[in-house]
Homo-oligomer: A and B are copies of this chain.
Amino acid sequence: MSAPVSPPLIATLLVACPDRKGIVASLAQVLYGHGANILDADQHTDPVAQLFFQRIRFDLSALTTDRVLLEAALREVGERFAMNWRLAYASQVRKIAVLASKLEHCLYDLLVRHRAGELACEIAMVVSNHAEPGPIAAHFGVPFHHLPVTADTRAAQEAQLAALVDGAGVELIVLARYMQILSADLVARYPARIINIHHSFLPAFVGANPYRQAYVRGVKLIGATSHYVTAELDQGPIIDQATIDCSHRDSVDDLVRKGRELEKRVLASAVRWHLEDRILVYAGKTVVFD
């Protein structure tokens, strides 16, 4: 059922830097020189921002040197080209925390997908301000933390949350229809490390009750948007979006039902892509290598 998602001897390199001649050749040369075999490589140049982005997935099993030397060589190239780079080994299991509310469809969805081997990570914990997700986490064998919150206790609750997350070595926080707005402080602590699902096709219908807003406006499609959380509400870099047709027949409840479908899908894809090191953030947008 849950076969190992990524074989252990694979690494992924993500690079962003000012565009210049020779970047591709230099990186390819370093990898080739150390015996790494490139499995996939994808690149993008933003001609307006004059930036270069690349994702390289390579096989380490026939490395002729070792990881220390390879990383040193990458560091040298990185300095030469003023690169922002990150290297991830598939053998190093990533940890995520899922924050949930009483709306359980996204929570179930992530847990079932994880169990089917779709998400290359350990779900280190489910956290909620409600008790209800507890039995769900238990069914999937995931630790659960109940952290109730009121307007007055927000700071303390967020401190508890941060302690749990940091204590467990969690890399990514997933807001699975978590209905609390995180403080600017908490958001700043985890840049491009918190993924949220907003139940509209942003930038339409920012804020509360987007399905009701959609109903009132009489749109003929509704959407959902997964994005990294930033200080400004619903303004973070968009990772994935999807829409579905609707009509005059759809009540607000129908829109909610149809929307759940989209929410699950675009949240799961965002989490999967993050875990597969496919996403780079710049200028309030994302590059998502497929």
> Please, which residue of chain B has its CB at the minimum distance from the CB of A53?
B248
The interface bits of chain A over 216-234 (1 if a CB of B lies within 8 angstroms of the residue's CB, else 0) are 0111110101000000000
Chain B residues with Cβ under 8 A from A109's Cβ? 112
Q: How far is the CB of A277 from chain B (nearest CB, A)?
A: 15
What's the Cα separation between A37 and B19 when bound, in Å?
Answer: 10
A-side interface mostly: mixed
Whether A32 lies near B22 (C-beta < 8 A) is yes
Whether A43 lies near B45 (C-beta < 8 A) is no
**A288: contacting residue among B42, B248, B257, CB under 8 A:** B248
- Complex copy number for this chain: 4
> Please, which residue of chain B has its CB at the minimum distance from the CB of A21?
B37
The interface bits of chain A over 234-264 (1 if a CB of B lies within 8 angstroms of the residue's CB, else 0) are 0001111111000111010000010011000
With an 8 A cutoff between CB atoms, is A82 at the interface?
no
Whether B42 lies near A42 (C-beta < 8 A) is yes
**A43: contacting residue among B40, B139, B237, B286, CB under 8 A:** B40
What's the Cα separation between A222 and B132 when bound, in Å?
Answer: 37
With an 8 A cutoff between CB atoms, is A35 at the interface?
yes
What's the Cα separation between A25 and B33 when bound, in Å?
Answer: 9
What's the Cα separation between A102 and B115 when bound, in Å?
Answer: 12
Chain B residues with Cβ under 8 A from A40's Cβ? 43-45
Chain B residues with Cβ under 8 A from A287's Cβ? 248
Q: How far is the CB of A279 from chain B (nearest CB, A)?
A: 10
Chain B residues with Cβ under 8 A from A46's Cβ? 248
Whether A241 lies near B257 (C-beta < 8 A) is no
For this complex, 22 residue pairs linking A to B, each with C-beta atoms less than 8 Å apart, are: A21-B32, A21-B37, A24-B31, A28-B29, A29-B29, A104-B112, A104-B115, A108-B108, A201-B223, A201-B243, A202-B217, A203-B217, A204-B204, A217-B285, A218-B283, A219-B241, A220-B240, A220-B241, A221-B241, A248-B285, A248-B287, A248-B288
